[in-house]
Amino acid sequence: MLIKIFFTNSIGTLVSRIFGFIRDMLSASILGANIYSDIFFVAFKFPNLFRRIFAEGAFTQSFIPSFIQTTKKALFTYTIFTRFLFFLLFFSLIVTLFSEFFAKIIAFGFNDETVALSAPFVAINFYYLPLIFCVTLFGSLLQYKHHFAITAFSTALLNIAMISALLLFQNYDKETIVYALSYGVLIGGLLQVIAHLLALKKNNFCRLFTLGFRYKNKKDAITKESNQKFNRAFFHSILGNSTPQIVSFVDTTLASFLVTGSISYLYYGNRIFQLPLALFAIALTTGIFPKMTRLLKANNEIEASRLLSQGFWILAFLLTTSTLGGYMLSHEIVWLLFEHGSFSKNDTSNTGFVLAMYMIGLIPFGLAKLFSLWLYARMRQKEAAIIAAYALISNLIFSFALIQSMGVAGLALAGSLSGCVLLFFTLRSFGFKAFFAILYSKKLIVLLALLLLEWVILRYAKELIHGYL
């Protein structure tokens, strides 16, 4: 079942990311790397930050254990849904009213004129957040029943909507194109919600909301206790799961002080880095988590450890080979994907350097996500939050230490180094002895031999590509 779930999530993620790269290639060609692309990426950064926190960890890893434990599933689901949705709609309205303030928070280095230009786009894009919350909660319910396909494939709908906006408005001025992209984000989010609603109806989950509405005034001690447990777990999970996203957010803020185009270099480099992270680490951990939670709740630690070991070796092979390939061919990958139209050779060089620095963090971020599942399944979210705080503090230290000497690439390297800190403390909480028991295997020799072979092939391929160029 693990392999089936992994491939379902991976294929869905791959399809979504293929459309995402088509979107990015069109963005690079039509917008290039300039003030308008920087403005859109800043506007999309805020809701995208929360999307990743919600969809790739914090909410799901708090909701599923609480949902499994509670005996009042309908009432619990309805309460969480309505409370979060109303709060996010209210928050979105606040962002609309004070959009310049929030634009300044995201890109502190922008001057007043650029902030004013960014403000309406920040307001529009932020309404994607309530939509993606609905998608995340609906997706969590489907994961509980081991239905992963809809959530995995649905992100493609967002990318298709944005691609359509770019193609329809490519001959307009750049400000109009950014408006079109922003509304494309909202249309894509609405399509994702509709797709999940159809899947919920098919799996007879809509009755949870109708029953919850019917008994909304009949809350008891069990429901209140479930809500309190979820609140504590969710708050800590936000901190514990959001390290890569907050690191990326900090990078964008610091990059706004650098030369024009720096935010775009970070965005394009991070987009490529996110592909193997989502395709392998996020896809695998999403599939493992519900089953691991059930096993640990039943005190079946041996089977849970076996499941974690299987996940580790799958990720070990996929992440290490991806890291080596992405690092060695970083410039060539960026050239192939983005050097068209308004995207220049200098943009390729800068983005390639950023990508190489990001790839260093692929293994630590991916493995930290896997081993943190053990903490979340045991409801040790507070411990994971403390570990994340160590990583965030180290990221700030590394960022300020490297930004002057390395520029925008220093920010990417700082994020990767903070990933190493995250992995170290996660493994310490999991137990180094238990980790090394997994690591000491004949598979390690096979992995090292495979990496050596890959290195030889990549060196030869790199020489061929340079000869062609």
Beta strands (DSSP E) in 131-257 are none
Q: 35 pLDDT exceeds 90? A: no
CA distance 32 to 379: 45
Q: What pLDDT score does 315 carry?
A: 94
What pLDDT shows up at residue 318?
Answer: 95
Residue 76 — very low, low, confident or very high, per pLDDT cuts 50/70/90? confident
Mean pLDDT of 270-290: 85
Report how far apart, in Å, the C-alpha atoms of 398 and of each of 68, 402, 407, 457 are: 40, 6, 12, 33
In this structure, is the dihedral angle defined by the CA atoms of residues 325, 327, 329 and 334, taken in order, positive or negative?
positive
Mean pLDDT, the chain, as a whole number? Answer: 83
Contact (CB, 8 A) for 429 and 376: no
Which of the residue ranges 7-21, 131-145, 432-446 would you say has the lowest mean pLDDT?
A: 7-21
Q: Residue 11: is its pLDDT beyond 80?
A: yes
For range 48-56, the mean pLDDT: 63
User: What average pLDDT does the segment 398-404 reach?
Assistant: 91
| pLDDT tens per residue, range 165-177 | 999 988 888 888 8
Mean pLDDT of 42-62: 69
pTM of the model as a whole = 0.72
Closest CA to 239 of 418, 361, 382: 382
Residue 182 has pLDDT above 70, yes or no: yes
Answer yes or no: is pLDDT of 241 > 70.
no
Mean pLDDT of all residues in 159-164: 92
Which range of 55-59, 68-72, 223-227, 428-432 scores highest in mean pLDDT? It is 428-432
In single-letter form, the type of residue at position 366 comes to: G
Mean pLDDT over 237-258 rounds to: 71
pLDDT attached to residue 370: 92
> Could you tell me the residue range of the domain that residue 253 belongs to?
2-468
Q: Name, in order, each residue with C-beta under 8 angstroms of 76's C-beta and a sequence gap of 6 or more.
A: 66, 67, 70, 212, 223, 226, 227, 230
Determine the pLDDT at residue 260: 75
Q: How many structural domains is the chain composed of? A: 1
**For position 150, what pLDDT does the model report?**
84
- Tell me the pLDDT band of 422, cut-offs 50, 70 and 90: very high
Looking at the predicted structure, is the pLDDT value of residue 194 above 70?
yes
What tens digit of pLDDT does each residue of 368-392 get?
989 988 888 787 878 888 898 899 8
Exposure string (b/e) for 280-316, b if CB count within 10 Å is 16 or more? bbbbbbbbbbbbbbbbbeeeeeeebbebbbbbbbbbb
Q: Which of 129-143, 236-250, 297-311 has the lowest mean pLDDT?
A: 236-250
